[in-house]
Amino acid sequence: MSKYRTNLPQIDGGTFLSDGGIETTLIFHDGLDLPHFASFVLLDTDTGRRRLKSYYEKYLAVARDYGVGFVLDSPTWRANRDWGARLGYDAAGLRRINIASIELLDELRAEWETAATPCVISGAIGPRGDGYKAGQMSADEAEAYHGPQIAAFADAAADMVAAFTLNNIEEAIGIARAAKAQAMPCAISFTVETDGRLVTGKTLPEAIESVDRETDASPIYYMINCAHPSHFEQALKAGEPWMERIRGVKANASARSHAELDESETLDAGDPLDLGQRYRRLKRTFPKMRILGGCCGTDHRHVAAICEACMPLEHDPGKLQTLLSASCFENKSL
């Protein structure tokens, strides 16, 4: 059974962390082969499950150290029909894998949750196509397409679902409607280009206001992910109603464009200290941004830097420097 589906703790206040770039961490740091950038395939082996648990535990340790909550996003960004078919998964196989992902997170919650660190389990949804290219789906098509994955999460112990790296407003509307039909709380996270706009040219306020208008504001909140803060800082406007709907950020480590990242064969880990300071400014300007994590190129050390910038851990000031001195920030090639 879900624990927080009807009473999500991150809605009421307090800071919650989430993980970083799961695929880039597993590929570049752990040396794993993830076909089609799909981490969910690891759920099919005991070794893969151990890898995933180890990945999440690094972040959970940071959350516990800082006494904040954690949103456990499942490794299922690619676990939909089109990507699943390329990897040999039919509808039954995808349902099994999506449920298994939530079972893994439920195990982690049982091991790591404390009163100071509530752990929310969120079923992660990705776009039907490429998150860096404009999608072509109607809202009705998106509702039908993403419905089975959301249904699997609803039948498991997921507290909510979250759709990441969306660039098509119609797809976001369809996902929100499908989640509402399953009585699942839903977060929508858009990605933007270096100009702060969706790849379609739409602005963030246009995207958020359109989804809210077409879904009776059913998403519980919105986020921004898979873009560096320098790409979207200028697009955020304090005091505007649509800004009140943005509650979280999962930024890229690199300031490179999506096109540049697509072409790169090395990992750009960026500057974690600078990233932390950018989050600090965002959080000060927009105090409702309570869910802090990373996306491509980030790992638990970036999230620790974000934590230290936003909520310094006064009793152990050297711990962050120990993390940042680790060799994982060296660029590594595939």
At 319 the pLDDT is: 60
Q: What is the pLDDT of residues 96-132, one digit of tens each?
A: 999 999 999 999 999 999 999 999 999 999 999 876 6
User: Could you tell me if residue 51 is inside a domain?
Assistant: yes
At 327 the pLDDT is: 44
At 260 the pLDDT is: 86
User: Could you tell me if residue 295 is inside a domain?
Assistant: yes
Find the domain containing 208 and state its range. 13-325
At 325 the pLDDT is: 58
User: Could you tell me if residue 331 is inside a domain?
Assistant: no
| Domains contained in the chain, number | 1
User: Could you tell me if residue 57 is inside a domain?
Assistant: yes
User: Could you tell me if residue 5 is inside a domain?
Assistant: no
User: Could you tell me if residue 25 is inside a domain?
Assistant: yes
Residues in the chain where the model's pLDDT stays below 50: 314-315, 327-334
At 244 the pLDDT is: 95
Q: Is the pTM of this model over 0.75?
A: yes
d(CA 249, CA 180): 23
CB 55 within 8 A of CB 19: yes
d(CA 227, CA 231): 6
Tokens standing for residue 159: 């507290």
At 148 the pLDDT is: 98
d(CA 65, CA 117): 9
At 274 the pLDDT is: 97
Classify the C-alpha dihedral 98-33-276-195 as positive or negative: negative
User: Could you tell me if residue 53 is inside a domain?
Assistant: yes
d(CA 293, CA 105): 17
Q: What is the CATH number of the domain that holds 135?
A: 3.20.20.330
Q: What is the pLDDT of residues 247-294, one digit of tens each?
A: 999 999 999 988 888 778 889 999 999 999 999 999 999 999 999 999
User: Could you tell me if residue 332 is inside a domain?
Assistant: no
At 131 the pLDDT is: 64
